[in-house]
Amino acid sequence: MGNASNQVSEVAELTGQQLDALDRLWGRLRKVRAFSFNASNGPGSQTNWRGHGRGEVSVEFFGAHILFAEQALFTDADGHKIELQNRYRWTRCVDHIRLEHLRREEPVLLFGLAPVTEHGFRHVQPHLCGKDTYTAELILHSDEIELIWHIHGPRKNERLHYHYW
């Protein structure tokens, strides 16, 4: 009997920790105003998506949604400079935070990010785009949000490492 009550107590504590982690992440997302990222590719990748970028984020709030409008200057591995723009929608759900890419205002679900530790989040399930699989991890630091994407497919082996502050 003692073991069952201890297990119930641990589940309740874990749920509380998960909710606290979600609350902290949601609060930090609302404060984001800038970002940087590094793109790299690994063995077998047939893309040239390598380089770094830095930019600003305009943030809007709509109920359970936070919209990010990102503008950045990306410098590829050959030194070429490219202006980039992306729109993302973060949505607060009961047990995770969903991230969608807004392409032509149509949302494309990337992944839900659920807490796995007090400051760490992981994709709920991978995002499939054609033959490519997207996964992600997020670390909530005291002064920034670190988001790491991995993209694997027949022609891709890429890593996108974002820092939001």
Tell me: pLDDT of 4 over 80: no
- What local confidence, expressed as pLDDT, does residue 2 receive? 45
- What local confidence, expressed as pLDDT, does residue 99 receive? 98
Mean pLDDT of 146-152: 97
Phi-psi region at 63: left, alpha or beta (left = phi > 0; alpha = psi -120 to 50) = left
Tell me: pLDDT of 72 over 60: yes
Tell me: pLDDT of 10 over 70: no
Q: What is the pTM of this model?
A: 0.88
CA distance readout (Å), 18 to 12, 14, 140, 148: 10, 6, 13, 20
Q: What percent of the chain stands above pLDDT 70?
A: 92
29-64 residue pLDDT tens: 999 999 999 999 999 999 988 999 999 999 999 999
In CATH terms, the fold of domain 2-164 is Lipocalin (2.40.128)
- At 15, list the tokens: 């749920």
Phi, psi values for residue 65, rounded to 5°: -120, 145
Q: Give the domain ranges of the chain.
A: 2-164
Tell me: pLDDT of 128 over 50: yes
